[in-house]
Structure 1
Amino acid sequence: MKAPYSPPFAATLPEVLTTDEAAAALNRKPQTLRKWACLENGPIRPVRINGRLAWRVAELQALLDGGAA
């Protein structure tokens, strides 16, 4: 029995982006996203991975499509 095809890890899209990457995608400064995280008042909220902020790609895409996730 053959296992189903799975693309190489590098070929798959990430589930989260760094603050710098997310800021570039949203055309905002990284500090704006850090402020959203600190004050918990932005249109999206990050997840924390080992104490660092990570921004969900699905939520970024929903925001870019015209609404909050």
Structure 2
Amino acid sequence: MRDEKRTHVGTACAAYWLGRKQQTLRSWACFEDGPIRPIRINGRLAWSVDAIRRLMGVEGIQ
């Protein structure tokens, strides 16, 4: 994650980093009740790398 250059990642990558199942993240997006919210790009979910870092408590590490 430290070397990640993208601003947003897909659901599979975000779920791996957060230690959650992909369906959990999809549920957060659907019900808008999760700790982070994705954006939609052409119908796909894109999760902010900065938001994931903040959630994990590693925002200062780049």
Which TM-score bucket, shorter chain as reference? 0.7 to 0.9
1:35 is aligned to: 27
Runs of at least 5 residues in structure 2 that lack an aligned partner in the other structure:
none
CA RMSD, aligned part only? Answer: 1.8
Q: Which structure has the greater CA radius of gyration?
A: 1
Relative contact order higher in (CA < 8 Å, ≥ 6 apart): 2
TM-score (norm 2): 0.85
Runs of at least 5 residues in structure 1 that lack an aligned partner in the other structure:
1-11
2:47 is aligned to: 55
Percent identity (aligned): 53
1:64 is aligned to: 56
TM-score (norm 1): 0.77
Moved over 6 A (4+): none
